[in-house]
Chain A
Amino acid sequence: MLSFIGRSIMQKIITLFFVSVVSFLIIHLAPGEPSQVDPLNPKFTPEMVERFQKAFHLDEPLHVQYLYFYRDLFTGKTVSWKDNQSVLWKIWERFLNSLPLFVVGTLITWTLSFPVGIRAAIFRGGLYDRSTTFFSYLLISIPGFFFAYVLIIFVVNTFHVPVIGMETFGLGEATWPNALMDRVWHLLLPSVLGATGGIAVLSRYVRGQMLEVEGQDYVRTAKAKGLPPEQVHYKHALRNALLPFVTMFGLILPGLIGGSVIIESIFSWPGMGRMAYEAILARDYAVILTVNFMSAVLVLAGTFVSDLLYLVVDPRIRL
Chain B
Amino acid sequence: MTVRRLLIFAPTVVILFLLQSYFWVPTYEEQTRGNPDRLHEYITASIGDASILNPILSADSASSDIESMVFEGLIDRDEELRFRGRLATSWDLYEEAFFCVNEAASVPGLGRAGGREVAEYIQRAKDGQLAMASEVKASLDNIQEIALLPAREFSVVRREKGERDDGETEVTIKVAAPVRLKLVLKNVDQDLFTSLSAILGKDYFSSFRGEDRVTVDQEAWKEKRAEYAKEVLPTTEHNPVVVFHLRPGVTFHDGHLLDANDVKFTYEAIMDPRNLSPRVSDYEPVKGVEVTDPLTVRIVYKRLYSPALGTWGMGILPEHLLNDQALKEEALGLGKGPEDFTMRQSGFSRHPIGCGPFMFREWKSDQYILLDSFEDYWEGAPNYKRYTYRIVPDLLTQEMEFYAGTIDSYSVQPHQVERLKQEPQYQNFSGLSFGYTYIGYNMRREPFNDRRVRRALAMAIDVDKIIAYVLHGQGERITGPFVKQTDYYNNIIKPLAYDPQGALKLLKQAGWERGPKGWLEKDGTRFQFTLITNSGNNLRKAILAIAQDGWKRIGIDVQTDLLEWAVFIQERVNKGDFDALVLGWSMGIDPDLYQIWHSSQTHPHQLNFVGFQNQEADDLIIRIRQEYDHHKQVAYCHRLHAIIAEEQPYTFLYVGKWTALLDKRIVILERDAEGAPFYRKITPTKTGTFTFYFNKWIKLTHTPIFAVEG
A148's nearest neighbour on chain B, judged by CB, is B397
A233's nearest neighbour on chain B, judged by CB, is B4
User: Are B280 and A45 in contact (CB-based, < 8 A)?
Assistant: yes
Interface size class of B (residues with CB under 8 A): 35 or more
In the complex, per-residue mask of A265-293: 1 if CB is within 8 Å of any chain B CB, else 0: 11110100011001000010000000000
B50's nearest neighbour on chain A, judged by CB, is A83
Contacts of A149 in B (CB 8 A): 396
Contacts of A62 in B (CB 8 A): none
B85 at interface, CB cutoff 8 A? no
User: Are A45 and B38 in contact (CB-based, < 8 A)?
Assistant: no
User: Are A163 and B404 in contact (CB-based, < 8 A)?
Assistant: yes
Tally of contacts, chain A with chain B, CB under 8 A: 205
B370's nearest neighbour on chain A, judged by CB, is A169
A313 at interface, CB cutoff 8 A? no
Give the distance in Å from the alpha carbon of A38 to the alpha carbon of B63 in the complex: 15
Known: A161-B27, A170-B388, A270-B367. A231 touches B1 (CB 8 A): yes
In the complex, per-residue mask of A79-97: 1 if CB is within 8 Å of any chain B CB, else 0: 0001111000010011001
B8's nearest neighbour on chain A, judged by CB, is A115
B701 at interface, CB cutoff 8 A? no
A window 159-201: CB within 8 A of B: 159-166, 168-173, 177-178, 181-182, 184-185, 187-188, 192
Contacts of A192 in B (CB 8 A): 18
In the complex, per-residue mask of B272-288: 1 if CB is within 8 Å of any chain A CB, else 0: 01001011111000000
A118 at interface, CB cutoff 8 A? yes
User: Are A234 and B1 in contact (CB-based, < 8 A)?
Assistant: yes
Contacts of A41 in B (CB 8 A): 59, 278
Give the distance in Å from the alpha carbon of A105 to the alpha carbon of B24 in the complex: 21
User: Are B15 and A152 in contact (CB-based, < 8 A)?
Assistant: no
Known: A108-B14, A161-B27. A168 touches B35 (CB 8 A): no
A152's nearest neighbour on chain B, judged by CB, is B400
B368 at interface, CB cutoff 8 A? yes
Known: A108-B14, A172-B41. A165 touches B7 (CB 8 A): no
Interface centre among B282, B367, B565 (most CB of A within 10 A): B367
User: Are A104 and B18 in contact (CB-based, < 8 A)?
Assistant: yes
Report which B residues bind A (CB closer than 8 A). 1, 3-4, 7-8, 10-11, 14-15, 17-29, 31, 35, 37-38, 41, 43, 49, 51-52, 59, 273, 276, 278-282, 344-345, 349-350, 364-368, 388, 390-394, 396-397, 400-401, 403-407, 564-567, 569-571, 573-574, 595-596, 605, 607
A70 at interface, CB cutoff 8 A? no
User: Are B391 and A268 in contact (CB-based, < 8 A)?
Assistant: yes
User: Are B364 and A112 in contact (CB-based, < 8 A)?
Assistant: no
Contacts of B570 in A (CB 8 A): 31-33, 39
- Segment touching B, from A48-56, A132-140, A214-222, A302-310: A48-56
User: Are B567 and A32 in contact (CB-based, < 8 A)?
Assistant: yes
Contacts of A156 in B (CB 8 A): 400, 403-404
Contacts of B281 in A (CB 8 A): 42-43, 45
Closest-CB distance, A263 to chain B (whole angstroms): 11
User: Are B366 and A188 in contact (CB-based, < 8 A)?
Assistant: no
Known: A51-B273, A162-B406. A115 touches B51 (CB 8 A): no
Contacts of B10 in A (CB 8 A): 111
Contacts of B366 in A (CB 8 A): 94, 268, 270, 274-275, 278
Give the distance in Å from the alpha carbon of A230 to the alpha carbon of B5 in the complex: 11
User: Are B396 and A162 in contact (CB-based, < 8 A)?
Assistant: no
Contacts of B18 in A (CB 8 A): 104, 108, 184, 187-188, 192
